[in-house]
Amino acid sequence: MSPDRHRIEEVIERALAEDLGQGDVTTAALISVHQRGVGFIVIKEEGILAGTGLAKQVFQRVDPQLEVELLLEDGARVKPGSKAARVTGSFASILKGERVALNFLQRLSGIASETSRYVESVRGLPVRIMDTRKTTPGLRSLEKYAVRVGGGRNHRMNLGEGILIKDNHLAALRKQGLSIKEIVARARQNAPPSLPESPSLSLLESLPSSLRGAKRRSNLQARQIQVEVEVGTVQEALEAVEAGADIVMLDNMDIENMREAVKSIQGRALVEASGGITLDNVRAVAETGVDFISIGALTHSVRALDISLEFENG
């Protein structure tokens, strides 16, 4: 479940270099390197915690002598006053690592918390909440990890994970006179033989068993290369299915058209809804019968969870 260790180390190095610059001149001017203290990471609002291990690594990268005890694990539901970790050691070292550790912890906890809200909103329905590639540059693996902590699933990690024919691909190729059927066939023919299994296909195993689900599973597993096509109308959705698309993404459709598209597809492909999804309408979207709902807002504009570091008196 954790993101790649080497990527984490690189991200931490960059973040500390960015924040420390030429050093912490205020702390150096005021605090003796021999003064010791105990700080607690304190939660200020309700949410889902994510990034505790990352925060610990930040402090220990600043000073390996710092003792960091995690009091809560990622995925914990927290409330105001909850203490996530205790940091003991050089007062100056704790201050140097404080902001970077909190930045990671607040950002990832915000993502996990928002994801959890969406997951709770569709509870009881056979649908999965997914993220997108609309992530902070350089932090994708961490932010997608936070989505998983919040109960969501990951869409493609990068452009190499699965074929997704988007509207701009279609526009460019239609200018050459190609139909959707020809575009899908070209994608399947030219795809590298080592292409990873589509993330959406792998999620089939997590969907409740049903006749419709079994039919889709059989259709997709019969092919080595899975192709997803983004569409904007019911007619395009039907064209994509007839062209052999394994997954159809309904982009920025209203509820009525989504419902019609799902009904028309009749289980011949997996269906993903994307674009314009909010907490206010996500359950209505799920009730149309789509299999997945991908939401860029989980990562691109989420509000950080309010978390601070407070020193123990005395």
In single-letter form, the type of residue at position 72 comes to L
What secondary structure, in 3-state letters, does 160-218 show?
CCCEEECHHHHHHHHCCCCCHHHHHHHHHHHCCCCCCCCHHHHHHHHCCCCHHHHHHHH
Beta strands in the chain (DSSP E): 36-43, 47-48, 67-70, 77-78, 83-90, 128-130, 163-165, 227-231, 247-251, 270-274, 292-294, 307-311
Q: Does the active-site annotation cover 99?
A: yes
Is the CA virtual torsion 230, 236, 241, 242 positive or negative?
negative
Q: Does the active-site annotation cover 230?
A: yes
The C-alpha atoms of residue 96 and residue 23 are separated, in whole angstroms, by: 8
Q: Does the active-site annotation cover 134?
A: yes
First and final C-alpha spacing in the chain: 39
Instruction: Kindly name the residue from 74, 251, 272, 291 that is annotated as catalytic.
Output: 251
Instruction: Kindly name the residue from 77, 79, 123, 166 that is annotated as catalytic.
Output: 166
Stated length of the chain: 314
Q: Does the active-site annotation cover 175?
A: no
Query: Is residue 202 left, alpha or beta, with left meaning phi > 0 and alpha meaning psi from -120 to 50?
Result: alpha
Which residues lie below 8 Å from residue 314, measured CB to CB, with a gap of 6+? none
**CB 84 within 8 Å of CB 71:** yes
**CB 101 within 8 Å of CB 59:** yes
User: How many CB atoms sit inside 10 A of residue 203's CB?
Assistant: 17
The C-alpha atoms of residue 258 and residue 140 are separated, in whole angstroms, by: 29
Instruction: Kindly name the residue from 228, 230, 239, 272 that is annotated as catalytic.
Output: 230
Instruction: Kindly name the residue from 44, 61, 86, 134 that is annotated as catalytic.
Output: 134
Instruction: Kindly name the residue from 99, 117, 133, 215 that is annotated as catalytic.
Output: 99
The C-alpha atoms of residue 45 and residue 117 are separated, in whole angstroms, by: 14
Cα-based angle 230, 284, 286 (whole degrees, multiple of 5): 55
Instruction: Return the bridge partners of 253, or none.
Output: none
Report the catalytic residues. Answer: 99, 134, 166, 230, 251
